[in-house]
Amino acid sequence: MSDDLTGIRYPWDEPPAQGEAIEVAKGVLWMRLPLPMALDHVNVYALDDGDSWTLIDTGFSSKRGKKIWTSLMEGPLAGKPVKRVIVTHHHPDHVGLAGWFQTEFGAELWTTRTSWLMARMLQLDEQAVPTQETMAFYKACGMDEEVFNQRASERPFNFSDVVDPMPVGYKRIKEGDVLRIGGRDWDVRIGNGHAPEHATFWSRDDNLVISGDQILPSISSNIGVYATEPDADPVGDWLESCERLAQFGRPDHLVLGGHKLPFTGLKLRMKQLVENHHGALDRLLDHLDDPKTGGECFLPIFKRNIGGSAYGLALVEAIAHLNHLYHVGKVTRIMREDGAWLWQRKG
């Protein structure tokens, strides 16, 4: 195996305990916030700017989360002010407390334009019942009838449940920017697929990469299609991003991701992420010799059937893979009388 494809290694066997921090490099602290779901944590980072801290991502908004942050600020952050919060992407486990830091502590919010617009729009869009468009989208996906009926009758998840109000005003970051954070210059490189305009940060001064959910070890980031853009091709965006970002990887890079443990072996991991999806697409295409709905496509993509709380994420990821095959011209689709798309291999 070449130097660029050396194996993935984990310098730390265990994450920091709740309310504590691990210094992964000079002036760079790794901390964790809990999440009430199967993926039960999010990694957050604090970088020492001398007279203040910059935070990367925040965790959900909750009483527990705010209590943990208060403990962190009084403990590992030593009472020094948080003057800047950088959000890698708009998902609630990363942006949830950004508005709290702005409002309560006067911190600036720095993020990409799409991340800010998506987060603020979704935080303001509170729904007591699912919209007609959302239910039509679920029907088009071929959602299981029992799950569909349950979703039709219950209050949907709202960003505002776990994301604090976000005041007007932020600083935009974009591809090609160079940011000074924690005594280092960082290149901003943008990925897509898991979330639009997802920011990653590559240190010019040492071996650190802060990757958010764009690059994770041992698990693959969810890539989903939603009612907001039902014909999107996030799998295509993901593959392009992985192949482009892989060009910058070095054997010594230490990747600080949004979940799981920091790791080395970036080039190999990027190769795995691309190959995993190409493998899923090949299996899915073989599965579509006969017409199938999205809800009938879990087994070839995930190598198992999925139910329970993970069903919704599996369904939107199945549609993402079907959409990609459709966009590259390998499958056709026709709408059944009940409103569900039937997908089939061409020819």
User: Cα separation of 156 and 226, whole Å?
Assistant: 14
Q: What are the structure tokens assigned to 26, written together?
A: 């000079």
pTM over 0.85: yes
User: Cα separation of 114 and 215, whole Å?
Assistant: 19
Q: Is residue 186 assigned to a domain?
A: yes
Q: Is residue 138 assigned to a domain?
A: no
Give the per-residue pLDDT at 209.
Answer: 98
Domain count, the chain: 1
Four-residue CA torsion sign, 317, 195, 260, 311: negative
Question: Would you say 255 and 266 are in contact if contact means Cβ atoms under 8 Å apart?
Answer: yes
Question: Would you say 109 and 167 are in contact if contact means Cβ atoms under 8 Å apart?
Answer: no
Residue 347 half-sphere exposure toward CB, CA atoms < 13 A: 4
Single-letter amino acid code for the residue at 321: H
For 150-177, write each residue's pLDDT tens digit. 999 999 999 999 999 999 999 999 999 9
Give the per-residue pLDDT at 6.
Answer: 77
Give the per-residue pLDDT at 3.
Answer: 55
Burial of 63 (0-12, 13-18, 19+ CB in 10 A): exposed
Give the per-residue pLDDT at 162.
Answer: 98
Q: Is residue 227 assigned to a domain?
A: yes
Q: What are the structure tokens assigned to 128, written together?
A: 């007591």
In 3-state terms, the chain is what percent helix, strand and coil (to 5)? 35, 20, 45
For the chain, residues with pLDDT lower than 50 are 1
Give the per-residue pLDDT at 347.
Answer: 80
Q: 236 phi and psi, to 5 degrees?
A: -60, -45
Question: Would you say 94 and 57 are in contact if contact means Cβ atoms under 8 Å apart?
Answer: yes
Single-letter amino acid code for the residue at 39: L
Q: Is residue 210 assigned to a domain?
A: yes
Give the per-residue pLDDT at 5.
Answer: 75
From the list 64, 72, 71, the residue with the least C-alpha distance to 96 is 64
Q: Is residue 337 assigned to a domain?
A: no
Single-letter amino acid code for the residue at 318: A
Tell me which residue range forms the domain holding 172. Answer: 3-126+156-282
Q: Is residue 168 assigned to a domain?
A: yes
Q: Is beta strand 28-34 parallel, antiparallel or unpaired with respect to 171-172?
A: unpaired
In this structure, the chain runs to a length of 347
Question: Would you say 204 and 184 are in contact if contact means Cβ atoms under 8 Å apart?
Answer: yes
Cβ neighbours, 10 Å, residue 281: 20
CATH number, domain at 14?
3.60.15.10
Q: Which residues are CB-neighbours of 119 under 8 A, at least 6 positions away? A: 87, 90, 95, 98, 111, 159, 163, 166
For 225-264, write each residue's pLDDT tens digit. 999 999 999 999 999 999 999 999 999 999 999 999 999 9
Q: Is beta strand 331-335 parallel, antiparallel or unpaired with respect to 341-345?
A: antiparallel
Q: Is residue 89 assigned to a domain?
A: yes
Give the per-residue pLDDT at 1.
Answer: 43
Q: Is residue 207 assigned to a domain?
A: yes
